[in-house]
Amino acid sequence: MKTVQAAMAIALVAAASASSGGQARAQPPKSARLYVFDCGRLEGGDVSRFRLKREEMATTDMSVACYLVVHPKGTLIWDAGAVPDADIKPGAGPMRYRIVLPNAAERFVTTERTLKSQLAAAGYAPSDITYLALSHYHYDHTANANEFAASTWLVRPIERDTMFADKPPDLLQPSTYSALRNSKTVTIKTDDYDVFGDGTVVLKATPGHTPGHQVLFVKLLKTGPVVVAGDLYHYPEERALNRIPTFDADERQTAASRAELDVFLKKTGAQLWIQHDFNANAKLKKAPAYYE
């Protein structure tokens, strides 16, 4: 009798894994991992918007990066790209996509692989993701947010209110995050939000670029601590030359957030990863490889 039950249990497990596409579910790791996904190359356009001159810069191109944190207690997607997966033609090679924003402004992003396919290569489906957090609400960070509507959304109240305002500000693409309206949501009311309760993954308030902008701190065992900086900076030259974009919601707040984060970086010895820094991002290993 026992043997029959065991055999049936094995059959059920086999059926379950077949119904999930036959893909092996990744096991929770013993310590935090950080995956970097390539979500394209964004053309910088007119860099005077960043108070920079072309001749001051290594490149005007920006990387678009998305991240997955895998913690023993769950998973977190950080930022969701600039081009929705549904628009990307698989197997077509790198293609240049034109993004038209609600105010008719255009942006150009060259990309090749969907976020979902990169997530799958790392062993995860959107349904496996516990939490979604966005550094902020601009279009180049929200493209695939709807894919994670079943996850718990970690967001600052002022950011969420603006996203669902009757008339959202420029640089937002509401169609890409509309499904989050009904997501299970944690509205963060503290400057620091400790995602898994053990201090290894912390969302830190860094307002200015947008009112509810945040950065991601991850304490990695081998790599050491890392701050993934959202758009606190776009270009490394903003940091080196102390320039603040003209389109930040509150420039003085940006300056204060940058100064405060510098103190934190010094205290923790954390590396600063500027998400749009094309040359720095190119050097990072990409999923399915990961930092731990």
Contact footprint for Zn ion (CB under 5 A): 140, 231
Measured CA to CA, the distance from residue 146 to residue 183 in angstroms comes to: 10
Our CA angle for 28, 148, 107, nearest 5°, is 120
Residues 6+ apart with CB under 8 A from 223: 34, 271, 291, 292
Q: Which is nearer to Zn ion, 51 or 219 (CB)?
A: 51
Q: How far is the CB of 36 from Zn ion (least distance, A)?
A: 15
Of 143, 152, 157, 141, nearest in space to 207 by CA: 157
Q: How far is the CB of 107 from Zn ion (least distance, A)?
A: 10
CB 271 within 8 A of CB 226: yes
Q: How far is the CB of 45 from Zn ion (least distance, A)?
A: 13
Q: Which is nearer to Zn ion, 85 or 231 (CB)?
A: 231
Residues 6+ apart with CB under 8 A from 229: 135, 206, 215, 261, 272, 273, 274, 275
Q: Which is nearer to Zn ion, 147 or 231 (CB)?
A: 231
Q: How far is the CB of 198 from Zn ion (least distance, A)?
A: 29
Backbone torsions φ then ψ of 197, nearest 5 degrees:
80, 5
Which residues, in sequence order, are bridge partners of residue 185?
Answer: 153
Q: Which is nearer to Zn ion, 63 or 130 (CB)?
A: 63
Measured CA to CA, the distance from residue 133 to residue 124 in angstroms comes to: 17
Q: Which is nearer to Zn ion, 162 or 200 (CB)?
A: 162
Q: Which is nearer to Zn ion, 49 or 54 (CB)?
A: 49
Residue located via tokens 């596409």: 21
> How many Å separate Cα 157 from the centre of its chain?
18
Quick one: tokens of 54? 């072309």
Q: How far is the CB of 97 from Zn ion (least distance, A)?
A: 16
Q: How far is the CB of 20 from Zn ion (least distance, A)?
A: 33
